[in-house]
Amino acid sequence: MKILVIEDEKELAKSIVEYLAEEQYLCEVAATFREAMDKIDIFNYDCILLDITLPDGNGLKILEELKNDNKQDGVIIISAKHALDDKIKGLQLGADDYLTKPFHLSELTARIYSIIRRKQFNNANIIKQEELEIDLLAKTVTVNNAVLNLTKKEFDLLIYFIGNKNRVLSKSTLAEHLSGDFADMLDNHDFVYAHVKNLKKKLSDAGCAPYIKTIYGTGYIWKGKG
Amino acid sequence: MKKNLLQKSLKQLTVFAFIVFALSIPSYFLLVDWIWLKELDENNHLTAERIENEFNEQHISEEKLAESITFWNEIQPVSKIESARQPLSQDSLYTIRRQNTYAKKEAIDRFRGLKTNIRINNRNYVLVVETNVEETEETVAYIALVTLGFFLILVIGFWILNRRLSQKLWRPFRDTLQQLKSFQLHSQEKIRFQETDIIEFTELNATLDKLLQHNIATYQSQKEFTENASHELQTPLAVLKNQLDLLLQSADLTEKQYHIAEAMNKALIRSSRINKNLLLLAKIENSQFDHSTLIRFDNLVLHSVDALQAHFKEKNISLHTDIQQEVEVKANAGLAEVLINNLIVNAIRHTAPGCDCTIVLSATGFELSNSGQKALDPDLLFKRFSRMSADNSGSGLGLSIVWEICRLHHWSIKYKFENKQHIFSVQL
């Protein structure tokens, strides 16, 4: 899997590459608009992380270029602007997702995971994890071919865990992911605890191995094969 | 009562003109009367001289003279010649009011008289000559009448001139005023004032232009500052967050170190939120949002309620909703969503477990009520960073953002505490 990180902030690009490298992703970095355009012309990527505020050009132009060339690369816009206009414009231009800085690397990984699955398997979008089968499009989960009923939040959480296999996920990170738009005022960590507990219980009741483990007392980790 | 500038000056001018004209009446009268009397005195002297000469040229005898004087006195009732042993030491001038002997009807008139010495045939006589003078009252009345006439002409003239001036002279001023009235800082439209040859207005326009340019420049730089601050702060925060994420993944992390990292993570998440909210506030304040799109408010409310259902359940809050359908308002959809979310989340946060929360949407307003113990200070409620509860995990900006969103959309938000219920109502 090849990922292009278009980001002018060196430290940020470095940490993204370091985090993603552990997921067996092959990362390349472009720090400027020109560099990015050069790379896009020559190579194909599974996913492009695009910072739209670059020193020598607007990242949205890169999106337009990709669209004109009919490239199938998945694009996640990462922006510090938090401007609604940019978000709408970006998604209209064919970006697959939009993340506002600052974000958690686990959040980014989960999104990259979903996009790559979606792009690669098109309609048959199924993740298999031993006895677990997840249909990303239908949003259904089966354990040993038996359908597992999960709430929207629990399904969301499951995908997040699967997208961050063998990673330590802290409670506050999960809380931020789960509360999404409402994170501004809901800072309830018991909420995370309750949801993880429910998910764990449902999975084990269905006969699933205990993949979710508690670590360091308050964190969680999904232990499983890559 | 408000008057325009020219009306004000017109009033002052009129009062001044009235005073001047009023003072002029006695002055004119005294002047005219003085000239009048002087002329009459001269005339009386001439008459006296003429009479003296006429008698002397006759060269008549003493008896004949006495007879002539008696006869003369009879036909000249206003004049009189009397023989005098001693000549008067000096002439006397006087003014009397008496019956006019020539007048057909009863009338008292004013007379100017001269009593002087004449010599006829070398004998001393005293001659009295009297001439009718116009009466004081009549003179005053005529002068006053004429003056009033002129005064009226002056006032009417002022009024007409004023109207023409205010139309012509003040046109550039009114044009400037109109331009200023329609000026909107965020519309980016430049103002072009009308050219004028009046120094004051040219100066005014130049000053206003300078002021506006400065304002526009400040506004621009403020807007840029918002964006820059956003970029400049978000990026280091992102670096920090990502480095912490990496730290959490290191294999040799001890539990103690994990907890330190997690504490930092929490603080970092909060500071990023505060930063995002501050930027949102700044952007709303700078009116950087278009709020003229017609949106379905009910859908937004339903969506938020749906998304937050789990949180209500988790806190065991019984939620009652009464949401009218097809409520359309002109607003910014993103901001309206933030408003609804912030209010609902606020209610969830501050409602004790097991209590009630009610959400009502009608065509005219959005109302949210939740159980509570005591009323909150409505003055502090919407202030930035003024927390009402001991729970300080929020950004402290949620309700300030709600307030600013309402202000931008010209909605009014009210808080009241009734029947142990906190009620927030937004008048759409």
Instruction: Give the pLDDT confidence of B9-56 residue by residue, as tens digits.
Output: 888 888 998 999 889 988 988 898 899 889 999 998 898 888 888 888
- Domains in chain A (CATH in brackets) are 2-119 (3.40.50.2300), 123-222 (1.10.10.10)
CA atoms of B242 and A13, how far apart (whole Å): 10
Q: Does the pLDDT of residue A124 top 60, yes or no?
A: no
Tell me whether residues A173 and B245 touch, CB distance under 8 A.
Answer: yes
Range of weakest confidence among A40-44, A121-125, B248-252, B333-337: A121-125
pLDDT at B62: 80
- Identify which of A187, A205, A194 has the alpha carbon closest to the alpha carbon of residue A149: A205
Give the full edge-to-edge strand order of the sheet including B421-427. Answer: B318-323, B356-361, B365-371, B421-427, B412-418
Write the residue in A101, A106, A218 that is nearest to B245 by C-beta: A106
Straight-line distance from the first to the last Cα atom of chain A, in angstroms, rounded to the nearest whole number: 14
What are chain B's domains?
Answer: 5-158 (3.30.450), 201-285 (1.20.58), 293-427 (3.30.565.10)
Tokens of A28: 């390349």
Mean pLDDT, chain B, whole residue set: 85
User: Does residue B179 surpass a pLDDT of 60?
Assistant: yes
Average pLDDT over residues A84-104: 80
Question: Rounded to an integer, what distance in angstroms lies between the CA atom of residue B270 and that of residue A182?
Answer: 13
**Which residues in chain B have Cβ-Cβ distances shorter than 8 Å to A217?**
255, 258-259
| A39-51 as b/e: b if 16+ CB within 10 A | bbeeeebbbbbbb
> pLDDT tens across B73-85, in order?
888 777 788 877 7
B308 has a chain A CB within 8 A of its CB: yes
**Chain B residues within 8 A of A55 when measuring between CB atoms:** none
Q: Report the first-to-last Cα separation within chain B, whole angstroms.
A: 35
Which tens digit of pLDDT belongs to each residue from B301-322? 999 898 888 788 888 899 999 9
Q: What is the pLDDT of residues A21-48, one digit of tens each?
A: 887 888 999 999 999 998 888 888 889 9
For tokens 């764990």, name the residue. Answer: A200
For residue A214, list chain B residues with Cβ-Cβ distance below 8 A: none
Q: How much is the ipTM here?
A: 0.79
Output the six-digit token pair for B265. 């993570």
* A190: nearest CA partner in chain B: B314
Q: CB A62: neighbour CB atoms within 10 A?
A: 25
Q: Distance (Å, rounded) from C-alpha A185 to C-alpha B388? A: 14
**If you compute the radius of gyration of chain B from its CA atoms, what whole number of angstroms results?**
50
Amino acid B91: pLDDT: 83
Q: Do B248 and A219 touch (CB under 8 A)?
A: yes
Q: Pick the residue of B231, B243, B245, B266 with the most A CBs within 10 A to test the interface with A by mutation.
A: B245
pLDDT value, residue A188: 62
Write the CB contacts of B218 (distance below 8 Å, at least 6 apart in sequence): none
What is the identity of the amino acid at A89? K
